[in-house]
């Protein structure tokens, strides 16, 4: 950006805001400026305004800046008007026809202990085959879908038997990087939501595969664009949008696929309020399965962002997801998704009222705020040699005044030396191999 040129707020970034330098406040985080960085004494990677002197220097060189509201203080007017703006936006969106929800179709038929090893194997194999699928696309081939279809069927069976198994695995999985991991995780979240709302088994498989292939067009973009971690500029965002059409072009080579898969690929970036792309569809115009996929991708993006920022827990991601209801997807879907995860999902690291750190193991029916947990540290934040399981809904816990105070941030978890990924198998028995078979005792 050259000097004297007005700053362009990057596209697709609700937390970035263009501001006149006369409106700057201490504590704001400057992400970009409308003059050459080399002409200023500031760090070109961005910086916080520490004093009124910083503001005066910025005024000397710039007219406009871009602030990052996730990292610093928000503008005065935005803080005042934020709730009004969100309320107005929600009122402007036509209420959708109620989504049919039937929570009684499926019952839990397997414990986490019984299917955790099988589910993890299927999960890892699906990531492996989707990675190979992408490699073949980039090499100019048209790969077969048989392996993906096979593991989609297996994973669907796992989810129908007990969705909490996959929720536990995803929330204790440390490998949150890579396009294939991202797509597989989003597809699992979408399928879990499909089970919760009562979709048929075949419908869930279609939803799973469609979400899995939604970003297949990304394989035809440049490595620089695929690996970008910051917000897009206008030109970059237009290039990024092309992955939708590239994905549709790819589907034309698989005429045997269910047409609803194409609707997911075409519309998974559409938004409930009409501000999505490529066509700006709104409310009922967005196909049902695309709405499921959109929510799943949104939640996974929030988890990925949280995993590199303050929190390793999905609790804050769920809170942010709820705030985006009606704007990005129907409120009913968000409520159903949060309902099955619970206020404190299994696999989440939490801090108790007495300062102890724990991991959530099991939801308690009728008492969502008081799950079964395993203590990982004492009240002084010293890691325990052996986790201790307690039920927060028990009379003893209630008498002691024990309850979950908050989600644990990455900083606290690191200081204590606890990581959810270290406890994936810690509470489900010892694995014993019997020839080609294995079981947990």
pLDDT in tens, 308-353: 444 446 888 888 898 888 889 888 899 999 999 988 999 999 999 9
pLDDT in tens, 386-414: 999 999 999 999 899 999 998 898 888 99
pLDDT in tens, 74-133: 887 655 445 454 555 555 555 555 678 888 899 999 999 999 999 999 999 999 999 999
Greater confidence (46 vs 229) lies with 46
Contact 291, 330 (CB under 8 A): yes
Q: Which residue has the tokens 């089970």?
A: 195
What class, spelled out in words, does domain 112-341 have in CATH? mainly alpha
In this structure, is the dihedral angle defined by the CA atoms of residues 177, 180, 183 and 184, taken in order, positive or negative?
negative
Contact 167, 341 (CB under 8 A): yes
Segment (H or E) for 103: none
Greater confidence (28 vs 5) lies with 28
pLDDT in tens, 178-193: 899 999 999 999 999 9
Nearest to 82 by CA among 10, 9, 14, 8: 14
pTM, entire model: 0.78
The rounded distance, in Å, linking the Cα atoms of 216 and 410 is 31
Backbone angles phi, psi at 384, to 5 degrees: -80, 145
C-alpha distances (whole Å) from 338 to each of 184, 189, 303 are: 20, 11, 14
The rounded distance, in Å, linking the Cα atoms of 277 and 300 is 19
Nearest to 192 by CA among 89, 118, 123: 123
Cis peptide before 151 (omega within 30 of 0): no
Q: Which residue has the tokens 């950006």?
A: 1
Q: Rounded to the nearest 10 degrees, how much is the dihedral formed by the CA atoms of 28, 32, 33, 39?
A: 110
Contact 171, 420 (CB under 8 A): yes
C-alpha distances (whole Å) from 142 to each of 50, 130, 148, 249 are: 54, 13, 14, 12
Greater confidence (226 vs 253) lies with 253
- Confidence tier at 16 by pLDDT (50, 70, 90): confident
The rounded distance, in Å, linking the Cα atoms of 408 and 350 is 5
The rounded distance, in Å, linking the Cα atoms of 56 and 284 is 50
Q: Which of 43-47, 75-79, 135-139 has the lowest mean pLDDT?
A: 75-79
The rounded distance, in Å, linking the Cα atoms of 360 and 370 is 10
Q: Return all residues near 70 (Cβ < 8 A) that are at least 6 apart.
A: 15
The rounded distance, in Å, linking the Cα atoms of 158 and 112 is 10
Q: Which residue has the tokens 């999505």?
A: 276
Contact 425, 414 (CB under 8 A): no
The rounded distance, in Å, linking the Cα atoms of 192 and 119 is 14
The rounded distance, in Å, linking the Cα atoms of 70 and 67 is 9
Contact 215, 244 (CB under 8 A): no
Per the rule left: phi > 0, alpha: psi between -120 and 50, beta: everything else, 435 is left
Backbone angles phi, psi at 300, to 5 degrees: -65, -35
> To the nearest whole percent, how much of the chain has pLDDT over 90?
55
The domain ranges of the chain are 16-92, 112-341, 349-423
The rounded distance, in Å, linking the Cα atoms of 249 and 243 is 10
Q: Which residue has the tokens 């309320």?
A: 87
DSSP letter (8 states) at residue 421: G
Q: Which two tokens stand for residue 231?
A: 């917000």
Q: Which residue has the tokens 């026809």?
A: 97
């Amino acid at each position: 950006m050259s000097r004297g040129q007005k700053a362009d707020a990057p596209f697709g970034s609700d937390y970035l805001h263009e501001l006149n330098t006369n409106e700057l406040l201490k504590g704001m985080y400057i992400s970009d400026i409308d003059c050459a960085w080399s002409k200023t004494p500031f760090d070109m990677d961005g910086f916080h305004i520490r004093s009124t002197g910083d503001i005066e220097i910025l005024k000397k060189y710039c007219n406009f800046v871009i602030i990052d509201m996730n990292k610093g203080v928000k503008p005065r007017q935005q803080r005042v008007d934020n709730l009004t703006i969100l309320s107005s936006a929600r009122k402007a969106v036509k209420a959708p026809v109620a989504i049919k929800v039937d929570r009684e179709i499926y019952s839990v038929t397997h414990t986490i202990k019984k299917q955790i090893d099988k589910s993890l194997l299927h999960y890892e194999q699906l990531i492996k085959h989707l990675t190979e699928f992408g490699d073949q696309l980039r090499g100019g081939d048209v790969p077969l879908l048989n392996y993906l279809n096979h593991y989609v069927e297996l994973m669907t069976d796992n989810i129908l038997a007990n969705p909490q198994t996959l929720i536990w695995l995803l929330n204790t999985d440390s490998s949150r990087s890579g396009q294939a991991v991202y797509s597989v995780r989003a597809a699992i979240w979408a399928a879990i939501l499909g089970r919760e709302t009562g979709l048929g088994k075949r419908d869930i498989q279609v939803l799973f595969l469609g979400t899995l292939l939604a970003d297949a067009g990304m394989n035809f973009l440049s490595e620089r664009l695929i690996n970008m971690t910051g917000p897009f500029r206008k030109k970059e965002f237009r290039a990024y949008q092309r992955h939708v059409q590239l994905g549709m072009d790819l589907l034309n080579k698989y005429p045997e696929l269910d047409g609803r898969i194409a609707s997911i690929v075409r519309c998974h970036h559409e938004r409930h309020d009409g501000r999505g792309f490529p066509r700006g569809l709104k409310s009922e115009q967005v196909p049902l399965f695309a709405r499921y996929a959109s929510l799943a991708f949104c939640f996974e993006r929030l988890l990925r962002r949280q995993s590199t920022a303050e929190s390793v827990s999905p609790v804050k991601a769920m809170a942010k997801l709820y705030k985006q209801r009606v704007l990005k997807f129907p409120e009913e879907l968000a409520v159903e998704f949060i309902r099955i995860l619970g206020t404190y999902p299994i696999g989440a690291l939490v801090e108790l009222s007495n300062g102890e750190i724990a991991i959530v193991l099991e939801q308690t029916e009728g008492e969502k705020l008081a799950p079964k947990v395993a203590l990982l540290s004492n009240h002084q934040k010293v890691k325990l040699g052996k986790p201790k399981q307690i039920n927060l809904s028990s009379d003893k816990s209630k008498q002691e005044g024990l309850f979950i105070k908050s989600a644990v941030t990455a900083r606290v978890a690191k200081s204590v030396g606890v990581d959810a990924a270290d406890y994936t198998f810690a509470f489900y028995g010892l694995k014993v191999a019997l020839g080609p078979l294995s079981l947990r005792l």
